[in-house]
Amino acid sequence: MKDSIPNAPTAQRMTLEDLPPPNTRRWVIRRKAQVVEAVRTGVLSLDEACDRYTLSIEEFLSWQRLFDSHGVHGLRVTRLQEYRNTPQKPEGEPH
């Protein structure tokens, strides 16, 4: 099971008001995870998220891949290189 997003509302209740403000410049793991979850649950489209937060599609997709592969903690910038060099585990194996 993936790590849960700290202090996040459940997916059914997430709204734009629950997301980081559009002028966010400091991307802690919780904020990245909230944006990934918002796109997954349809609160924002990929294009809306990228426009709202001035992200490239590639940057957002890297957050999504890291979250899928390593959970919330994979979104830490200090771990980025470590995770990029780690082969992904097949589905069903513990992380």
Domain containing 57 — which CATH number?
A: 1.10.10.10
Question: Closest by alpha carbon to 33, among 74, 1, 81, 92?
Answer: 74
Instruction: Report the distance separating Cα 79 and Cα 1, nearest Å.
Output: 20
By CB neighbour count within 10 A (0-12 exposed, 13-18 middle, 19+ buried), where does 44 fall? buried
Task: Decide if 33 is inside a domain.
Answer: yes
Total domains present in the chain? 1
Task: Decide if 35 is inside a domain.
Answer: yes
Question: Closest by alpha carbon to 19, among 47, 49, 45, 58?
Answer: 49
Helices (H), 1-95: 29-40, 46-53, 57-70, 80-84
- How much is the pTM? 0.71
Indicate the length of the chain as a whole number: 95
Task: Decide if 1 is inside a domain.
Answer: no
Mean pLDDT by 10 residues, the chain (95 residues): 54 83 94 96 96 95 94 78 56 58
Task: Decide if 90 is inside a domain.
Answer: no
Task: Decide if 92 is inside a domain.
Answer: no
pLDDT at 11: 46
pLDDT at 13: 79
pLDDT at 93: 58
